[in-house]
């Protein structure tokens, strides 16, 4: 595959860092962005130490100024955008602070639109672009106590369908990968939050809440998500756009 410049949001840890590391191994240049610049720099430094090509930038996807500053600082044109930045808050709606609810949607839906909007003109000018949204099983189904997260992740699917139509006149695609649980610090925190909210032990949260709906019964890996992203970047996927790629261990086929 042609080496690409890939900008990944929320890549200072978790899924974003995992995807960046795997794609750098395939010879791509990765732009590690995160609200915490120190975390982004640590990931980029490790990639470079392993022989890969990477740079780190601070990026707040909820800020127009931050987006503009980051894109003006990136070392080369961005071919691929991976919208991964995210966070979680677990609470019944009656106890869910509305400012927190709005913030989750700002990061995971409005922020996706903000950054995509900023990068689209350059992609159009160069005649190539790939936008990969990291959705969730919660783009497709719901769980209690996650109203803001589920609403934002469901919104990604509609956003992707509209953008697929708006970019159909050029070699730009947009798709959403929807994994079930990936073992990350965010999921570790969810396990603790769910245990507290449901009043059950943490190991029961894993076995009875997270993995029980999956016939495969295992966490998703970074390698799987990076491999799917690489496929969506490839010429073989040039006519796959506006779709959801479910990585759910059989959850939604039941």
195-227 confidence digits (pLDDT tens): 988 899 999 998 888 899 999 999 999 999 999
Whether the CA torsion 107, 113, 114, 115 is positive or negative: it is positive
Average pLDDT over residues 185-200: 85
pLDDT, position 190: 79
**Residue pLDDT, tens place only, 151-175:** 999 999 999 999 999 999 999 999 9
pLDDT, position 183: 81
- pLDDT band at residue 241 under the 50/70/90 scheme: very high
Report the distance separating Cα 3 and Cα 71, nearest Å.
19
- pLDDT band at residue 1 under the 50/70/90 scheme: confident
pLDDT, position 135: 98
* Helices (H), ranges, the chain: 14-25, 37-49, 64-73, 98-105, 111-126, 147-166, 185-198, 202-204, 222-233
Report the distance separating Cα 174 and Cα 242, nearest Å.
6
Cβ burial of 146 (10 Å; 0-12, 13-18, 19+) is buried
pLDDT, position 193: 85
Q: Which of 128, 145, 149, 219 is catalytic?
A: 149
Over 80: is that where the pLDDT of 186 sits?
no
- Please tell us whether the domain made up of 5-179+220-246 is placed in CATH 3.40.50.720: yes
pLDDT, position 65: 98
pLDDT, position 127: 98
**Residue pLDDT, tens place only, 94-143:** 999 999 999 999 999 999 999 999 999 999 999 999 999 999 999 999 99
State yes or no: is 149 an active-site residue.
Answer: yes
222: which residues sit within 8 A by CB, 6+ positions away?
Answer: 15, 18, 19, 21, 22, 182
Angle at 222 between CA 37 and CA 28, to 5 degrees: 65
**Residue pLDDT, tens place only, 38-62:** 999 999 999 999 999 999 999 999 9
Report the distance separating Cα 155 and Cα 52, nearest Å.
34
Which carries the bigger pLDDT value, residue 194 or residue 58?
58
Report the distance separating Cα 154 and Cα 68, nearest Å.
27
CA 33 from centre of chain: 12
**Residue pLDDT, tens place only, 114-123:** 999 999 999 9
Domain with CATH 3.40.50.720 in the chain: 5-179+220-246
């Amino acid at each position: 595959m042609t080496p690409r410049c890939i900008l990944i949001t929320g890549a200072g840890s978790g899924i974003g860092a995992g995807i960046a590391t795997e794609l750098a191994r395939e010879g791509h240049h990765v732009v590690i962005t995160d609200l915490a610049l120190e975390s982004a720099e640590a990931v980029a430094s490790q990639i470079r130490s392993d022989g890969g090509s990477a740079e780190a930038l601070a990026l707040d996807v909820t800020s127009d100024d931050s987006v503009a500053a980051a894109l003006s600082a990136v070392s080369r044109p961005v071919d691929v955008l991976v919208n991964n930045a995210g966070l979680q808050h677990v609470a019944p709606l009656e106890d869910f602070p509305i400012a927190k609810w709005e913030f989750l949607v700002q990061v995971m839906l409005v922020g996706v639109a903000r950054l995509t909007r900023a990068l689209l003109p350059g992609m159009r000018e160069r005649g190539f672009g790939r936008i990969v949204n990291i959705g969730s099983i919660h783009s497709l189904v719901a769980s209690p106590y996650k109203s803001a997260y589920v609403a934002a992740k469901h919104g990604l699917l509609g956003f992707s369908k509209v953008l697929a139509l708006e970019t159909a006149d050029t070699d730009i695609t947009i798709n959403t990968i929807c994994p079930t649980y990936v073992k990350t610090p965010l999921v570790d925190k969810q396990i603790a939050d769910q245990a507290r909210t449901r009043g059950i032990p943490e190991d029961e949260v894993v076995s009875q809440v997270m993995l029980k709906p999956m016939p495969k019964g295992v966490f998703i890996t970074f390698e799987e998500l990076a491999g799917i992203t690489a496929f969506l970047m490839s010429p073989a996927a040039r006519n796959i756009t506006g779709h959801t790629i479910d990585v759910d261990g059989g959850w939604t086929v039941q």
